[in-house]
Amino acid sequence: MTSCMSSLKASDDREEVVWRGSRAYTERVKAFTVKPERAFNIAWKESERVKYPIFFREPEFVVGQWYWFGKSTKNKIPLTGYYVNGHSGKVEYRQSEKLIKAGARWLPKDAWKTTESSATEAR
């Protein structure tokens, strides 16, 4: 990801992922100013502008300090989607050709396309 998406990283610069329903997710969300429902509202507003769908109101996972919203299947989730910062409410739409397997602890290396992304601050 870009440097503006600060998060917890492995020694090889992979981004840490915590999944909804896990203790780690619950603890991470407790530390955020922006709770999941507000994060969804921020992502939904951005989705009306960008036109990439969101399938669920609850984020499937958190990457570092960022909630993820987008399309998913039961086992694999495209990384393309809306990322809402749990502290600031900033939203970024990110495109990726990569998937993450449900339950994976780290994002794949080089997960992001650098050409098309948008970022807006929460209002």
Contact 67, 43 (CB under 8 A): yes
Q: Which amino acid is at 30?
A: K
Q: Residue holding tokens 């958190």?
A: 62
The pair of structure tokens assigned to 73 is: 């299947």
Q: Where are the domains of the chain?
A: 17-120
pTM of the model: 0.81
The per-residue pLDDT for range 44-102, each reduced to its tens digit, is: 999 999 988 888 889 999 999 999 999 887 788 999 999 999 999 999 999 999 999 98
Contact 106, 15 (CB under 8 A): yes
